[in-house]
Amino acid sequence: MAKFVAFLRHDDASRVTPQDVIAFKDHRLKTIDPRSHKPISPKTVKDNDLAGLKTIFAWSVSNQRVATNPAAGVTLSRGKTRRLRVTKGFTDEEASAILSATADIKPSGEQPCTFAAKRWVPWLMAYSGARVGEMAQLRKQDVRREGEHWVVLVTPEAGTVKTDKARDVVLHPHIIEHSTYSRLSAYPLAQD
């Protein structure tokens, strides 16, 4: 919204027209992202900029702040993303390089749990298929032992989960074995 107001050079919602929203959309598509030095992606414009404007103006209409939603109906056809690789995931060589690099991580002044996460999150992802955020947000209470198996609970209570549904993930014995003999064993999996 702040970018939209800066683009319009006013903050009077009653003066906003569909043409203003379209002009802003076109402007955003030409804007260079200062972090990546590439144009803002159509996905970002559609899913963030336009979706945000539609939501705010819909609320404004519902609360009788404006008569109509100028962003309603404004969309962006993104087309299919070009796939430059055969596989979506990592190749065996890439996965091996990432996992091997975790052994070379040295503490650099961060908290012990941050250091341990740098070491363990890639391994947990590799053996579980879970997303980085799902593994990074694990809490002590999300790790438990059931008989001979260690289980982690991936739950939206801890943070973002793709399906918004909790699920148990049984940890592969190799993870447990590796953690037992690792020089990082001072930072066990069940630590916060």
Is the pLDDT assigned to residue 108 strictly greater than 90? no
105 with 51, same domain: the answer is no
Is the pLDDT assigned to residue 69 strictly greater than 90? yes
For the chain, how many structural domains are there in total?
A: 2
Question: What's the chain's average pLDDT?
Answer: 87
105 with 168, same domain: the answer is yes
Tokens of 13: 């919602």
Q: Quick check: is 80 in a domain?
A: no
* 153 neighbors 160 (Cβ within 8 angstroms): no
Length of the chain measured in residues: 192
Q: Quick check: is 40 in a domain?
A: yes
Q: Quick check: is 177 in a domain?
A: yes
163 vs 27, higher pLDDT? 27
Full domain range(s) for residue 32:
2-62
Q: Quick check: is 68 in a domain?
A: no
Is the pLDDT assigned to residue 190 strictly greater than 60? no
127 vs 189, higher pLDDT? 127
Buried (b) or exposed (e) across 42-52, using 16+ Cβ within 10 A?
Answer: beebbeebbee
Tokens of 187: 């930072």
104 with 172, same domain: the answer is yes
102 with 168, same domain: the answer is yes
